[in-house]
A = this chain, B = another copy of it.
Amino acid sequence: VTKIKKVDAWATLFKTFTRLHQKMEDSMKARDLPTLEIYDVLWTLEQATGHKLRFSDLGEKVYISRCHVTRISERLEKSGHIKRVPCEIDRRGVWAQLTSSGLALRKKMWGVYGQLIEEQFSSHLSEEEHRLLIKVLGQVKIEY
């Protein structure tokens, strides 16, 4: 058993993820589809009750800042994939409401994204290895 450097595990994680992610973004763009970040936003809205979330909640779920949520929502509204709806309960807030066009886009994106995950990632791993990854990476809790 040879002694390993712990930092090599981090380096491997860094490089593997970064290149995989880059490759997927490239493939999405090549098909004129939005980024995976946008996919995350659409998917998060779809899962929410009523297909809507307040900007602040949306931002927390997908880990992006307030003004970034505003800017992304701006574009998504322009393209008709969400609608901004004033929040009646708390008039400071704004709902991001997924439209049927937004739902369709999410599904269309999944057609490509899901295939990329299979081809570029899952196909290289056994079921046991999938399980292991979930377990090991799940142990990593970020401390603030």
A→B interface (CB under 8 Å) = 4, 6-10, 12-14, 16-23, 63, 114, 117-122, 124-125, 127, 129-134, 136-144
Q: Quick one: given A133-B136, A139-B125, are A144 and B23 in contact (CB under 8 Å)?
A: yes
Q: How often does this chain occur in the complex, in copies?
A: 2
Q: Which residues on B sit within 8 Å (CB–CB) of A133?
A: 9, 12-13, 133, 136
Query: Is chain A's interface secondary structure helix, strand, loop, or mixed overall?
Result: helix
Q: Quick one: given A7-B117, A118-B6, are A137 and B12 in contact (CB under 8 Å)?
A: yes
Leading 9 A-B pairs by shortest Cβ distance: A9-B130, A6-B122, A16-B137, A17-B17, A9-B133, A124-B139, A124-B140, A10-B117, A12-B137
Most buried by B among A4, A9, A125, A134: A9
How many angstroms between the C-alpha atoms of A18 and B121 in the bound complex?
17
Are B119 and A140 in contact, with the CB atoms below 8 A?
no
The distance from the CB of A19 to the nearest CB of chain B, in whole angstroms, is 5
| Closest residue on chain B to residue A5 by CB atoms | B130
